Chain A
Amino acid sequence: MAIAKAERLMNLALCLLGTRRPLSKRELRESIEAYLEAGNDDSFSRMFERDKDDLRELGLVIETVENLDGEVGYLARRDSNRLPPITLDAEEAAALGLAAKVWQQARLAGAASGALQKLRAAGLPEDVDPYEAHGALEPRIPVHEAAFEPLMLACRDRRPVVFDYRKATAAHPETRNVEPWALECWRGHWYLAGWDRDRGAERVFRLSRITGKVRSRGTAFTAPVPDVVTVRETVASWAGEIADRSALIRLRSGSGYPLRAKATAVRELGDGWDELEIPYGHGLDAWLVEFGPDAVVLEPAELRADVVDRLRAVAKG
């Protein structure tokens, strides 16, 4: 039976961490059973390179050193791999215990537990129930979008990407070339901010509208990465959260609570109707139509016309 990958990685890690001098590939092969059984030199070499990458992904700093005879050796020095001293009290431990459970994405969930386990090994206080400390609170970060992981890695490694993107109202997707800066989750949806190379401008993309695979480009970023990337403001303006005008509507008494909650002024008309002044931003027309015959726009005329157009479309549908 083939030797499990975790066993092979663990052996490589222990060899590299345990040595004081660089070990050559030949020496490593002789010390690790899975490598001896790896078949020919080519397949061993490929396996070894992949394993080294995996261990680096786990945070191991592996140095490559050439000796006087030109032979390449590898080692993971203690100094560069040791966790700096960190002391956390029971409350802080409970807080991190809660944070480590938040991710619903396999890679980050695994990484968060891994971080907590390293801190446990370094003496993080135990026997603290995060539910005791934090009430019955369960925050979860949902990640349903397939594009998330490749984009997260591309943001981390600053690699430009190409993907097909379907704009909210477009019939067909378009190919976009993007230098990815940052990902942000708002109201349960993920957004990417970055430099759109073809448009020569900053753009925000909603991950659920990316169709097909995210491919990475071997080139470097061409535009400077801003210190502060503002995703939420852009998305909030799409969502009509940024209101710059005011609308006057008539609302049937007792209905439309969310409109009332937003209203800046309410006047009872006494005939089963109220008059409300509400902030008017992008998307208000579509929202008002939802209330059907219970809401009538009085002003501005432009909003009134938009709502009437929408109602006509439904009425004749």
Chain B
Amino acid sequence: MAGKPVRPVNAIDQTRRMLSLVTYLRERPGARIADVARAFGITEDELVSDLDVLPMCGTSFRGGDLLDIDTDGERIWWHNAAALGEEAAEPLRLAADEATALLVAARAVATLPGLREGDRQALLRATAKVETAAGEAGDASARLSVTFESEGGVFADVDRAIAERRRLWIRYYSPARDELTEREIDPIRLVSVGHTYVEAWCRRSEARRTFRLDRVAEIKILDEPSAPPEIELRDLSEALVQPAAEDPEVVVEVGPAGRWVAEYYPHDSADELPDGGLRITLRTPDPASLRRLALRLGGDGRIVSPPELADSARRAAREALAAYDQVGHGDVEGQRL
């Protein structure tokens, strides 16, 4: 995995973590820093910063009630674990936000079409146990829900190919060009962000590509082994498709009814226009692919630049209108399927 992003120190999260650490360390004298950091899902630096704070904490700062916890850089020692009564170090109940965060996520993943049945069952069992342990704190989780979209059959094949390290053949639809292409890909991982995608090494373009599962028209698991080169995986906190700085710029002006463009297309800027519309600047490696957008917008927007793109949309619309003239409504009467 790529390095964890550096998180800002948040006093609430750190306090929550230190309370659990106290319980955890009490049971494990001489615990290794590396093991504890992994168990807590934090970096060793984050753990060390907790270990700097803990000796300042206790039931009183007077009379030796502070926690005598220290580390030699490898292991963690707690010299006066009795300073905290047996009871004061018991695991704490889940807070409403904690129960909500875990339960909503677990339920969402469990509904992913294509998930292995064993994994789904494990998620459902774990969810039920956490619901019971959370009690009322879990009630608020009913106020949030998340659905991941996926094509179950394609998902299962990709998942199997990754597990068995095998190459895939796909017929893939590209909306930008309205065409299906055949490719061989070496799958790396499945990513669900609303829609589900497979991140893969594409053997046709010899580059990393992301494919949306609902655009895979056909899929076959090949006998050849998958051998994606070692590449640094994308940081999933960013949009999956990132335009490059050198990509050509496209400027679109939309009226109020075309404001959705700013919600669906990653863009550099969206400036308000006096009529309630937007002037949107975006970049794409292939401006011609935005002809679809220009057509879709109809009277709700127009391409300002590049002019070739605006021209091609106009041409396409005129051709289409000509086709309507040829295939009149009357011609097909009585020719129902």
Do the two shown chains form a genuine complex with each other?
A: yes
Given A181-B143, A311-B320: A171 and B96 interface contact (C-beta under 8 Å) = no
Per-residue CB contact flags for chain A residues 281-310 toward chain B (1 = under 8 Å, else 0) read: 000001101111111101101001000111
Inter-chain contacts of A155 with B (CB < 8 A): 140, 143-144
Most buried by B among A115, A155, A310, A312: A115
Interface residues on B, range: 35 or more
- Distance in angstroms from A203 CB to nearest chain B CB is 16
Contact A166–B259 (Cβ < 8 Å): yes
Select which of B54, B57, B98, B316 is within 8 A of A115 by beta carbon. B98
Contact A114–B59 (Cβ < 8 Å): no
Contact B257–A168 (Cβ < 8 Å): yes
Select which of B101, B145, B318, B324 is within 8 A of A103 by beta carbon. B101
Select which of A14, A156, A290, A299 is within 8 A of B59 by beta carbon. A14
Give Cα A139–Cα B210 distance, bound, in whole angstroms: 15
Select which of B35, B125, B143 is within 8 A of A156 by beta carbon. B143
Give Cα A117–Cα B296 distance, bound, in whole angstroms: 49
- Distance in angstroms from B135 CB to nearest chain A CB is 7
A214 within 8 A of B: no
List CB contacts (< 8 Å) of B134-190 with chain A. 135, 137, 140, 142-149, 159, 162-163, 173, 175, 178-180, 187-190
Select which of A114, A255, A258, A292 is within 8 A of B320 by beta carbon. A292
Inter-chain contacts of B178 with A (CB < 8 A): 255-257, 291, 294
B3 within 8 A of A: no
Give Cα A312–Cα B173 distance, bound, in whole angstroms: 28
Inter-chain contacts of B40 with A (CB < 8 A): 113, 117, 120
- Distance in angstroms from A168 CB to nearest chain B CB is 6
Inter-chain contacts of B97 with A (CB < 8 A): 57, 107-108, 111
- Distance in angstroms from B254 CB to nearest chain A CB is 11
Contact B94–A83 (Cβ < 8 Å): yes
Contact A117–B41 (Cβ < 8 Å): yes
Inter-chain contacts of B256 with A (CB < 8 A): 169-171
Q: Identify the closest chain B residue to A305 (Cβ).
A: B329
Select which of A10, A95, A115, A287 is within 8 A of B119 by beta carbon. A95
Give Cα A182–Cα B144 distance, bound, in whole angstroms: 6
A38 within 8 A of B: no
Contact B236–A82 (Cβ < 8 Å): no
B24 within 8 A of A: yes
Contact A310–B298 (Cβ < 8 Å): yes
Contact B16–A287 (Cβ < 8 Å): no
B305 within 8 A of A: no
Give Cα A222–Cα B241 distance, bound, in whole angstroms: 44
Given A100-B102, A171-B256: A18 and B298 interface contact (C-beta under 8 Å) = no
Most buried by A among B16, B125, B142: B16
Given A171-B276, A185-B147: A10 and B88 interface contact (C-beta under 8 Å) = no
Contact A299–B332 (Cβ < 8 Å): yes
A140 within 8 A of B: yes
List CB contacts (< 8 Å) of B73-117 with chain A. 84-85, 87-88, 90-102, 104-106, 108-109, 112, 115-116
Given A7-B57, A14-B57, A314-B295: A141 and B143 interface contact (C-beta under 8 Å) = no
Give Cα A289–Cα B299 distance, bound, in whole angstroms: 12
Contact A141–B105 (Cβ < 8 Å): yes
Most buried by A among B10, B62, B90, B102: B102
Select which of A91, A286, A301 is within 8 A of B118 by beta carbon. A91
Contact A257–B173 (Cβ < 8 Å): yes
- Distance in angstroms from B8 CB to nearest chain A CB is 9
Select which of B98, B109, B122 is within 8 A of A114 by beta carbon. B98
Contact A18–B122 (Cβ < 8 Å): no
Contact B337–A277 (Cβ < 8 Å): yes
List CB contacts (< 8 Å) of A229-270 with chain B. 231-232, 248, 250, 254-258, 261, 265, 267
A200 within 8 A of B: no
Contact A81–B195 (Cβ < 8 Å): no
Select which of A78, A183, A287 is within 8 A of B87 by beta carbon. A78
Inter-chain contacts of A171 with B (CB < 8 A): 256, 275-277
Most buried by A among B23, B193, B298: B298
Most buried by B among A10, A135, A250: A10
Inter-chain contacts of B54 with A (CB < 8 A): 10
B313 within 8 A of A: yes
Contact A257–B217 (Cβ < 8 Å): yes
Contact B321–A312 (Cβ < 8 Å): yes
Give Cα A137–Cα B35 distance, bound, in whole angstroms: 24
B319 within 8 A of A: yes
Contact B102–A136 (Cβ < 8 Å): no
Give Cα A231–Cα B39 distance, bound, in whole angstroms: 37
Interface residues of A (CB under 8 A from B): 3-7, 9-11, 13-15, 17-19, 31-33, 54-55, 57-61, 78, 80-88, 91-96, 98-104, 106-122, 126, 133-142, 152, 155-156, 166, 168-172, 181-189, 208, 231-232, 248, 250, 254-258, 261, 265, 267, 275, 277, 286-287, 289-296, 298-299, 301, 304, 308-315, 317
**What are 26 A-B residue pairs whose CB atoms fall within 8 Å in the complex?**
A14-B58, A32-B60, A33-B61, A58-B15, A78-B87, A82-B91, A96-B106, A108-B100, A111-B98, A111-B101, A134-B116, A181-B143, A182-B142, A183-B143, A184-B145, A186-B147, A187-B195, A188-B195, A208-B263, A231-B145, A257-B178, A289-B320, A293-B319, A308-B324, A311-B324, A317-B313
Q: A59-B95, A84-B135 given; name 15 further pairs at CB < 8 Å.
A: A10-B18, A57-B95, A58-B12, A93-B126, A95-B126, A99-B123, A102-B109, A138-B192, A142-B193, A171-B277, A258-B173, A261-B217, A290-B295, A311-B320, A314-B314
Nearest first, the 4 A-B pairs at minimum CB distance are A188-B194, A171-B276, A59-B95, A313-B299
